[in-house]
C-alpha cells in the first residue's frame, strides 16, 4: 500500500534560521496536503498541492510539489517561536490519505 516517509523526525533551530521538511511517497499522488500540529493540539490543515511542480507560498512558508508528484517539501524562512510544532504531510490518492510521521520543529529564541 501507499507509504509516506517524512524527514527529518526532529529539527531544532535558532530563531531566524530557516527550516525544511521533506516528504516522499512510494506511489504517485493525486495531491499532497500539509498540516501543522501545535503542542497539545490537533493537526490543522495548511495547504494542498495538486499540480506537478507546483509551488505555493503562505507568508514565510513555501510549499513545493515534485515534478513526479511523489515528493514534497515545506520550507520556512526566518523561523519564529510561533512556528513551533509538528508539521505533517499527507499524501492523497484514490480516496486514500496517508500521513507522514511528521517533523517536530523547536525554535530557540
Partner 1 sequence: DSGVTQTPKHLITATGQRVTLRCSPRSGDLSVYWYQQSLDQGLQFLIQYYNGEERAKGNILERFSAQQFPDLHSELNLSSLELGDSALYFCASSVLGVRGTEAFFGQGTRLTVV
Which residues contact partner 1 (rule: CB under 8 A)? 1, 6, 9, 31, 33, 35, 42-45, 47-48, 50, 86, 88, 90, 92, 95-102, 104
Which grid coordinates belong to 54? Answer: 507546483
Nearer Cβ to partner 1, position 35 or 78? Answer: 35
Nearer Cβ to partner 1 (38/78)? 38
CA atoms within 13 A on the CB side of 71: 9
Q: Give min distance, CB of 95 to partner 1, in A.
A: 6
Q: What backbone phi and psi angles, to 5 degrees, belong to 9?
A: -75, -40
Q: Please count the other Cβ atoms lying within 10 Å of the Cβ belonging to residue 99.
A: 15
Amino acid at each position: 500500500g501507499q507509504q509516506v516517509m517524512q524527514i527529518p523526525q526532529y529539527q531544532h533551530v535558532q530563531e531566524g534560521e530557516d527550516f525544511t521538511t521533506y516528504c516522499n511517497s512510494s506511489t504517485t499522488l493525486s495531491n499532497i496536503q500539509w498540516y501543522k500540529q501545535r503542542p497539545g493540539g490537533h493537526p490543522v490543515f495548511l495547504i494542498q498541492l495538486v499540480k506537478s511542480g507546483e509551488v505555493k507560498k503562505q507568508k514565510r512558508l513555501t510549499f513545493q510539489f515534485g515534478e513526479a508528484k511523489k515528493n514534497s517539501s515545506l520550507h520556512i524562512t526566518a523561523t519564529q517561536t510561533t512556528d513551533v510544532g509538528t508539521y505533517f504531510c499527507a499524501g492523497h490518492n484514490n480516496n486514500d490519505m496517508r500521513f507522514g510521521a511528521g517533523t517536530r520543529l523547536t525554535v530557540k529564541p
